[in-house]
Amino acid sequence: MAEQGGTAEQSKTVEEPKVSAVELKKRAKADKQARRAAQKEQEGAPAEVPPATNGAHQEPSAQGQGVQQDQKGKAAQAKGQQQPKPSKQGGQDVRPERGGPSQPQSIPPRSKAAPAAPSKELPKRDNSVVELLSHLYPIQRRPNLAGVSKDVHPAVLALGLQISTYEICGSSARCVAMLLAFKEAIQAYTTPRDTSLPRHLVSHHLSPQIDCLRSCRPLAESMGNAIRWLKKLIVELDPDKPEHEAKDFICEEIDRFVHERITVTDQAIAASARNQIRTGSVVLTYAKSAIVEKTILQAHEQGTRFRLIVVDSRPLFEGKRLATSLMRAGLEVQYVPFSGLAHVVKDATLVLLGAHSMLSNGRLQSRVGTASIALQAHKADVPVIVCCESVKFSGKVALDSIVLNEIAPPEELLLSPIPEKSPIHPAGVATTAVTGKSAVTVTSAAISKDASEDDEPAKLKTLHEWSSISNLRLLNPMYDITPAEYIRMVICEYGSVPPSSVPVVHRLANEGM
pLDDT digits (tens, 9 = 90+) for 51-81: 444 444 444 444 444 445 555 454 445 444 4
Q: 448 pLDDT exceeds 80?
A: no
* Angle ∠(344,347,352) on CA atoms, nearest 5: 80
Contacts of 39 (CB under 8 A, 6+ apart): 86, 95, 96
What tens digit of pLDDT does each residue of 432-442 get?
A: 444 444 444 44
Local confidence band at 512 (pLDDT 50, 70, 90 cut-offs): low
Least confident of 124-128, 162-166, 198-202, 294-298: 124-128
Torsion-angle region of 39 (φ positive above 0: left; ψ -120 to 50: alpha; else: beta): alpha
Higher pLDDT pick, 236 / 429: 236
User: Measuring CA to CA, which residue among 324, 272, 279 is closest to residue 300?
Assistant: 279
Q: 142 pLDDT exceeds 90?
A: no
Higher pLDDT pick, 12 / 217: 217
User: Measuring CA to CA, which residue among 454, 440, 391, 362 is closest to residue 265?
Assistant: 391
pTM score, whole prediction: 0.69
Mean pLDDT of 246-260: 97
> What CA–CA distance (Å, rounded) separates 513 from 460?
59
What tens digit of pLDDT does each residue of 193-224 get?
A: 989 999 999 999 999 999 999 989 999 999 99
What tens digit of pLDDT does each residue of 457-492 get?
A: 556 778 888 888 888 888 999 999 999 999 999 999
Q: Which residues of 196-232 are buried (b: 16+ CB within 10 A; e: fewer)?
A: bbbebbbeebbebbbebbebbbbbbbbbbbbbebbbe
Give the rounded percent of residues in the chain with a pLDDT score beyond 90: 55
Report the mean per-residue pLDDT for the chain: 80
Mean pLDDT of 166-185: 96
Least confident of 319-328, 377-386, 408-417, 483-492: 408-417
Alpha helices in 139-205 (DSSP H): 154-164, 171-187, 197-200
What tens digit of pLDDT does each residue of 225-236 get?
A: 999 999 999 999
Please report the pLDDT score of residue 468 as a whole number: 83
Q: Indicate the length of the chain as a whole number.
A: 513
Q: 94 pLDDT exceeds 50?
A: no
Local confidence band at 105 (pLDDT 50, 70, 90 cut-offs): low
Mean pLDDT of 411-422: 67
